[in-house]
Amino acid sequence: MWIVTTVAGDLRAGCVVGFATQTSIEPRRFLVCLSKANHTYRIAERARYLAVHLLTTDTASLAELFGSETGSRIDKFEHCEWHEGPHSLPILTATTGWLTGEILQRNDFGDHVGYLLTPTFAHAPAVCTAPLRYKTVADLPTGH
């Protein structure tokens, strides 16, 4: 599982995503899909960059915050530690690793839109921990 964060103008947003993958080695490409029902999708449609954070079993509370709440009702960033990273993107401090990417394409995949990214910066985890899997968050109520 992943958390995507973005910024457009003075609006920040972030959500949990389950559909994300590397798509090419050369050139480097990464695909992340956002639900059209999501507040973050509406902000990402106006954004130039996205940050993609890897979730681990140690960061399940972030998955609950970014998966069960909606940015149209609360500022999720008031409830977690973060800092401004590359491209003014919100970077979640507790996550193990993250990358930022420039949006190259937006592709309609039905109820999700795929954002093809070219990575611009990345932070690798110092220690490998168990990734957070869908089965751990499957029963969380969704924000939208």
Q: Per-residue pLDDT tens for 83-97? A: 999 999 999 998 889
More confident: 103 or 64 = 103
- Kindly state the greatest CA–CA separation across the chain: 40
Q: In the structure encoding, which two tokens stand for residue 105, read together?
A: 């394409």
pTM for the model stands at: 0.87
Mean pLDDT of 40-65: 92
User: Is the Cβ–Cβ distance between 102 and 49 less than 8 Å?
Assistant: yes
